[in-house]
Chains A and B, each alone.
Chain A
Amino acid sequence: MKKKKILTFGQAINEALDQAMSRDKSVFVFGQGVDKTGHVFHSTEGLLKKYKKKRIFDTPNSEQAETMLALGASLNGKLRPVLIHHRVDFMAYTFDQLVNWISLWSFKSSKKSYAPLVIRAIIGRGWGQGPQHAKTLHTMFSYLPGLRVVMPSSPSEAKGMMLSSIASNDPVIFLEYRALYNTKELVPTERFYIDLDQPRLRLKGNSLTLVAAGTSVLTSLKAAEILYKEKKIKIDLFDLRSISKMNLKKIIESVKKTKRLVLVEDGWKNFGYSSEIITQIVENKIKLAEAPQRICWPNSHVPMSAPLEKDFYFDEHDIVKACKKVLKEKLIHSN
């Protein structure tokens, strides 16, 4: 049995950064206010003391220049920058850098040059974060060839995926839901790597296939618990991990078996990963017993006030309802 200890999401990322920096001198961390006060939800705590100003530093409010600094420094792995944005919304400043430079860096050099950089960004989702602090842009980034876009769902996933992202020779956008920072989990203490291309089967069952990523994995786990408690229903629950490079092989196999599909996504409904997965299922000529269900955000900007927020975000009961919908026939039989 490998050694594990209980860590929060923020502590797990902190441990990953520390382990990456201690192993590899080319790793450095920067961004606005990353070396002080809140320490990005404790995820950079202690790094300044240990690695000094050279390897973790604050910057002016210059997202565009910061992003190009990361690209220039990272060329062919000379350095491995980790750039942090406190909200993903600020990355809108850096659209040119992502669209015209970073995403096509490997392509336009025919892989002779590569840019191993990590951009961490936090999705505010919840508690009054409102239109400019709550949204997620994961599908916007994923649309671009050449970017790895990943969304960890738990502390142990965050640690292994952060270590892999830093080691990856491709640019990675590492999206962290703020709502996950206070979650706790047993996390292996060793330095370990997660395959960013492989979705993870989180629960096993025959009734239906559910795919989620980031926070929606946690909400789906709660829904699965309810389904089991109420109806003794077991489901295949997949954590997508990577949004831009989805390896759907196992998910397709699962859907072939269950013939029922529910997609849960903490993000807008149009053009999300949910839409993409349904498309690929259809393209693979997989016949479904019931129409697939998507549990996503409405196609609207995010309201701030508590009652409207409650209406905007889905919870585990919405997922349960959707699961019951695709299980219609099965439930009648089991009753």
Chain B
Amino acid sequence: MQFSIQKEIYKNLSLIRKTQEEIIKRYHPADKMRCPMHFCVGQEIMPAVLGPLMIDEDSIYSHHRSHGYYIAKKGSINEMIAEFYGKETGSNGGLAGSQELSSTKIDFYSGTILSGAFAMALGGAFEKKYNQKKGIGISVIGDGGMEEGIVYESLNMATQMNLPILYICENNSYSTHTTLKQRTLENKPSNRVKNFNMKTTYFDGNDPDKLFNLMKSIVKKIRDTKKPHFVEINTYRFNGHVGPEGDDHFNYRSKKEINHWIKNDPIKFYEKKLFSKSRKLLALKKKINDKNFKIIDRAFRFAEKSKFPKRYENNNFKATYKNVKKFYNNSISFGTVQEDHKPKPY
């Protein structure tokens, strides 16, 4: 592994984690980010390693736990925090919030009604193939989203149409507070996907280097063959399902389980692996984290200073046409009397 790539992966891991920790810290009592948020603390590993593997022409269609992928795709942190504040400088112009964080600048789209974005990747990948672009569609879903019907329509069409899509299922074992085992007899979503004649890979581990090498070969294959590939990763969210508050007081998951995952936190693992061997390396770690904090802190100030959008209702329609110079004469003489007809059976 090149150290420069490892540094980038660590920078991503830390930026994703720190951004969310800062949001959680500043959420109350200020109450300036007034939208539901699904944090991905604990699930940073996949977006962080994808960071160095993506090109600008790739597009991401994400589930609602999307912050990590937005950051990994180099989305502006300023625009992200401003969006959570509902300000006009936000990535969505302040009209959508965290649940539908999207940015055309980085071809990143997300949504919270479960599996719609997953299916959108079909269109993104189709367009890239149609226009002979190098990019691929990256479609991210959770184990809960995998239960919707549209997922199976999409998987079938992706293989049938040979579309260059990287499917990622982040299996964190919970749909809100309901366990996977309570919802299905097949606990590995990737097993269901195999039947569509799609290549699948299952990853369980906390070493970002291992995941990077795996994803590097998969992404290359998708670019070369223009065929979809489905990757399932076993992961865990440390935070509650939604909002800055935890939800462990509901006792829907055991302390033992939580502690197991926190002990095996990929970020802690990676810090030890990369930076524990010398003081110089420790200083480098601090430098990366200080820089990340500056980016985040600046973003909050940017959001504070920005204004709320003045209007909203004018955004429902684009109300423009492509290449239409004038409309046809609307006068009464246009057209002639229609002939009578009898509908035939179909």
Give chain A's interface residues, CB within 8 Å of chain B: 23-24, 28, 54, 59-60, 62, 64-66, 68-81, 96-97, 100-101, 104, 106-114, 116, 124, 126-129, 145-146, 148, 154-157, 160, 164, 167-170, 178-188, 192-195, 198, 200-204, 218, 221, 245
- Which residue of the partner chain, among B92, B111, B320, contacts A169 with CB atoms under 8 Å? B320
Interface pick from B171-179, B181-189, B251-259, B311-319: B311-319
- Which residue of the partner chain, among A69, A218, A221, contacts B119 with CB atoms under 8 Å? A69
Q: With contacts A73-B123, A110-B93 known, what are 12 further pairs, Cβ within 8 A?
A: A59-B157, A62-B153, A69-B122, A97-B116, A100-B116, A101-B116, A110-B88, A110-B315, A113-B104, A116-B322, A146-B317, A195-B328
- Asked if B127 and A78 sit within 8 Å, CB to CB, the answer is yes
How many A-B residue contacts, CB cutoff 8 Å? 210
- Asked if B121 and A72 sit within 8 Å, CB to CB, the answer is yes
Query: Chain B contacts of A100 at CB under 8 A?
Result: 111, 113, 116
Query: Are A68 and B154 also in contact (CB < 8 A) when A77-B322, A202-B332 are?
Result: yes
Return A162 CB to nearest CB of chain B, in Å.
13
Return A157 CB to nearest CB of chain B, in Å.
7
- Asked if A69 and B104 sit within 8 Å, CB to CB, the answer is no
- Asked if B318 and A106 sit within 8 Å, CB to CB, the answer is yes
**CA of A221 to CA of B337, assembled, Å:** 9
Query: Are A145 and B153 also in contact (CB < 8 A) when A72-B126, A127-B345 are?
Result: no
- Which residue of the partner chain, among B154, B338, B342, contacts A65 with CB atoms under 8 Å? B154
- Asked if A164 and B317 sit within 8 Å, CB to CB, the answer is no
- Asked if A68 and B324 sit within 8 Å, CB to CB, the answer is no
Residue B334 interfacial (CB < 8 Å)? yes
Q: How many residues on the B side are at the interface (Cβ–Cβ under 8 A)? A: 63
- Which residue of the partner chain, among A79, A128, A179, A193, contacts B321 with CB atoms under 8 Å? A193
Chain B contact residues, majority secondary structure: loop
Residue B130 interfacial (CB < 8 Å)? yes
Give chain B's interface residues, CB within 8 Å of chain A: 61, 88, 92-96, 100, 102, 104, 109, 111, 113, 116, 119-127, 130-131, 137, 149-150, 153-154, 156-157, 160, 309, 312, 314-324, 326-328, 330, 332, 334-339, 341-346
User: Which chain B residue has the least Cβ–Cβ distance from A109?
Assistant: B92
Return A317 CB to nearest CB of chain B, in Å.
15
Return B36 CB to nearest CB of chain A, in Å.
15
Query: Chain A contacts of B322 at CB under 8 A?
Result: 24, 77, 80, 116, 167, 169
Query: Are A72 and B61 also in contact (CB < 8 A) when A106-B315, A160-B328, A183-B339 are?
Result: yes
